Amino acid sequence: MIDKIIPSHIAIIMDGNGRWARSKGLPRIAGHWAGADSLKEIVECCAEIGVKVLTVYAFSTENWKRPYEEVSTIFNLLRYFLQKETDRLKNNNIKIKVSGNIERLPKKVIEEIEKALEKTKNCSGLILNIAVNYGGRDEILRACKIIADEVKKGKIEIDEIDDSLFKKYLFTGDLPDPDLLIRPSGELRISNFLLYQLAYTELWFCEKTWPDFKKDDLMRAISDFQKRDRRFGGLNNNNDKK
């Protein structure tokens, strides 16, 4: 498989932590901790096989609706993950990036994010892009407001606004669009994730919950991706499909 095309950018909705915990008679919190172990394994695998960008959905703008205890646990887990893993990621030439409005996060989490960004800023291998307090609609509205303000100030002409310019104002402005989106746990939706960027992304779903999603599952998703005919709105080589 490695000698075939490897997706340059893989995005993952890390779903099913709570269901995993419930199936084992454990509190939802335990599911999030187990999910962190899956993340470490998937990051290592992506770096090993040559994936350029891995974007993971860690906390959405809608997740604030969850119980306070669970929200606090997710942020504590993110802080712990960065404290424990940043040096190892740096040693493996993995660069950390964060997408989302982090200003609303707890101060200690913001501080840990800033440390991780600084430590890994010169790494040139896999980019681990963590989407936290992220929402696709929120991202698009944010970009529109910034561009409108730039137009108002005379910094941008309306006729200059195209897809290329618009992308620069997204959180992922310096990243390629995802080639492959993976969502475990049996749900068949994208849940306000990378709405603009997923226009021609291949979608892959499976029944396993995120804590049970391992390297073999990632490789199976990539294998399926490699069998698909990506036409980006055009025709395939035989010119017989629309």
* Cα–Cα distance for residue pair 47/18, rounded to 1 Å: 27
Our answer to whether residue 63 is catalytic in this structure is yes
**Catalytic position from the list 63, 76, 92, 101:** 63
β-bridge partners, 203: 181
Our answer to whether residue 15 is catalytic in this structure is yes
- Angstrom distances, CA of residue 161 to CA of 151, 156, 165, 174, 226: 10, 8, 6, 17, 34
State the sign of the Cα–Cα–Cα–Cα dihedral 122, 127, 130, 135. Answer: positive
Q: Strands 180-183 and 202-205, how do they pair?
A: parallel
β-bridge partners, 12: 56, 182
- State phi, psi for 170 to the nearest 5 degrees: -85, 160
**Catalytic position from the list 15, 138, 179, 217:** 15
Count CB atoms within 10 A of the CB of residue 157: 9
- Angstrom distances, CA of residue 88 to CA of 30, 55, 128, 202, 225: 24, 18, 13, 31, 29
Question: Residue written as tokens 């993995």?
Answer: 94
Tokens of 164: 């290329």
Longest dimension (CA), the chain: 59
Query: Would you name the residues annotated as active-site residues?
Result: 15, 63
